[in-house]
Amino acid sequence: MKVARIQLDGVAPVAAMVRGDALHPLEADVGALIAGSPAGAEQPAVDRATLLPPVVPGKIVAIGLNYQDHIRESGQAPPEVPLVFAKFPTSVVADGVPIRLPRALTERVDWEVELAVIIGRRAHDVAVEDALDHVFGYTIGNDVSARDLQFSDGQWVRAKSLDTFCPLGPLLVTADEIPDPQALRLVCRVNGEVMQDATTGLMVFGVAELISRLSRAFTLDPGDVIATGTPPGVGWARDPKRLLLDGETVAVEIEGIGVLENRTVVDG
């Protein structure tokens, strides 16, 4: 099942079934679907709707250095355990919403295509073999990163949590349609030029292992998002470095999910 989250004029956000290019609103929001509540009848397709982020996460748990070739290009030592940090939910924006580049704070903004996992069942101390049973679905994330803040701060939260620095979408695909999250191609293009092209099979820690390890440390609640790390090809690791400028288009794509596209706008 493919699900979008939409805003209709004068109506609270609702989930919508995606059938081809058509959106069919339901009577419930995505949060109700995740919770297993009745969604109500499927409505006729709508002509106009504002696309929203597919989920409103309680928390975004992000993983750094989770692809070997990205570790090598970053010049870092491979982590023995997942490198965990947080992105604040206020950084989330939808497909088509501009990524704002706040020049008063940063001049080195980078892209990172990531598979984003949406938790569907409360997960606490779950075994690896049971971990995928706690997944509601998957979407696409762009872990936009202010590299100058990332390295000057000595930790990553601020650099990766600026407003608009977490595009998610354009829709979510339920777990039954993606039986193996380690078999997906993911691509990032900037102005149409391929910057990243890899598969999720190259993760150091796969989705099931991440859920298991994270759930031993803290509870994962329905609607939480895990951003699973990015493959090689980030702008900071290029020679010369390639950072985002005003008016560029960043399109991140994952097989079986779709394309999430946002333009950059200098802010200040």
Both 19 and 125 in one domain: the answer is no
From residue 259, give the alpha-carbon distance in Å to each of 16, 111, 141, 187: 18, 14, 10, 9
Both 174 and 251 in one domain: the answer is yes
Both 180 and 87 in one domain: the answer is yes
State residue 9's pLDDT score.
85
The residue type at 126: V
CATH number at residue 238: 3.90.850.10
pTM: 0.96
Both 133 and 43 in one domain: the answer is no
Strands 258-267 and 185-190: unpaired
Number of domains in the chain: 2
Both 13 and 124 in one domain: the answer is no
State residue 39's pLDDT score.
83
**Residue 96 DSSP code:** T
Both 30 and 73 in one domain: the answer is no
Both 101 and 226 in one domain: the answer is yes
Tell me the pLDDT tens digit for each residue of 62-98. Answer: 999 999 889 888 888 889 999 999 999 999 999 999 9
In angstroms, the CA 90 to CA 37 distance is 26
Q: Which residues of the chain register pLDDT less than 70? A: none
Both 233 and 121 in one domain: the answer is yes
Look at the block and give the residue holding tokens 């509601």: 136
SS3 70: helix
**Vertex 138: Cα angle to 206 and 170 (nearest 5):** 135
Domain that holds residue 15: 2-52
Both 102 and 21 in one domain: the answer is no
Both 186 and 242 in one domain: the answer is yes
State residue 86's pLDDT score.
97
Look at the block and give the residue holding tokens 């980030």: 234
Both 10 and 117 in one domain: the answer is no
In angstroms, the CA 133 to CA 210 distance is 13
- Could you tell me which residues come within 8 angstroms of residue 90 by beta carbon, excluding any fewer than 6 positions away? 161, 163
State residue 41's pLDDT score.
86
Both 9 and 140 in one domain: the answer is no
Q: How many CA atoms lie within 13 A of 176 on its CB side?
A: 3
